[in-house]
Amino acid sequence: MEISKGRGCVYSLEYHVVWCVKYRHKILTEQILSALKTILLTVCDEIEVKIIEFNGELDHIHILISCKPTHYIPDVVQKLKGVSSRVLMLQFSNELQRKLWGGHIWNPSYFIATVSENTESQIKEYIKNQGR
């Protein structure tokens, strides 16, 4: 795990985040997952969050992120889901609007777990093996 230094603190904060497509529809093709990764990397760069690992299956995604102690995790997840939903709906409107309506791609819920240096390699491997 990478140790970072902030103003008055030293930290290493990593989170495993999982969220699902609304109604668990199987819409996340390779092309959509690739676009989603690009979108999430852009958003994370803007809010100073680092994506360590990313992958998904047809109906959900897994990401391993590193944050600063000043980040409020529900806001980070909301930003990632909100921006990615809007951009994907614009880029893939024909494909997505057939199965999803109302402009919402993601289920409002999500799973999050903290990651320690003892479990980081296991979680990275688990995420890499999604969709296989």
Domains and CATH numbers, the chain: 12-128 (3.30.70.1290)
> CA–CA separation, 62 vs 112, rounded Å?
10
Instruction: Give the 3-state secondary structure percentages of the chain, helix then strand then coil, rounded to 5.
Output: 40, 25, 30
pLDDT tens string 57-115: 999 999 999 999 999 999 999 999 999 999 999 999 888 988 887 778 999 999 999 99
Q: Where does 20-64 have alpha helices with state H? A: 30-47
- Confirm whether 126 is a catalytic residue: yes
User: Of 11, 15, 110, 126, which one is the catalytic site residue?
Assistant: 126
Distances (CA, A) of 37 to 43, 63, 65, 69: 10, 10, 13, 24
> CA–CA separation, 66 vs 51, rounded Å?
7
Q: Would you state the structure tokens that stand for residue 28, as one six-digit string?
A: 């996340």
What pTM was estimated for this model as a whole?
0.91
